[in-house]
Structure 1
């Protein structure tokens, strides 16, 4: 016959507050991870598009994921990329999804021809967990 033992305990106020804040910190950390890795992916796609030399205007590059002001080949900076940026973050419970890209009319053609976003993902996917680990540690223990 087994023995049973039971006791009651309570958390002190500081510990209770820590656990109460932890859930919100985890949510914020996951949002921050998604944002940061999305920007890393977007930055890599911008660099690939610019360095490959396929694109002769800055509109496509400046509209990937978030608005930037990279100059075009002729040195003219296009800053009005707002209407073409794809950056849509949604949370469904514990899942956070971020869509990044460009909605310029020729973005699909560029992706089919040069695989810019796919190549950027291939280059960034090994670093993304490292970025996530740093962000989570910073957010949870700030």
Structure 2
């Protein structure tokens, strides 16, 4: 916790984006959503979802996360220290946009693992396209590990 706090003190402050009307963040989200629609089976998003930069929802699983999508509200929350100027940072916004598209398209939400696997695969494809093959490989493995639904077997 102290390391994260120190890192936040060292990193330059990101502008606070809290509404979908913020043209800079929505422009980035639109470019990423267009890339997603061209490079996956997910549909283009109907509109820029609400995106906020700040504290992620509480929970043990979220401590290391860079973003979260809330299907109940449609809001994407990104960690304050996420560098959206980098392909790596943008890949996390793309990951959350994938969840928004999954929800918008009516994909069944009962198997969180399958949704995560699809989002991680898309994120890995994006990083590969940006020349970050090593980062992509790590995310691809994470997606494969998370990609099963309860009761399914990998053999």
Fold similarity call, TM over 0.5 = no
Answer with 1 or 2: which has the greater Rg.
1
Q: What's the TM-score once normalised by structure 1's chain length?
A: 0.30
Q: What's the TM-score once normalised by structure 2's chain length?
A: 0.28
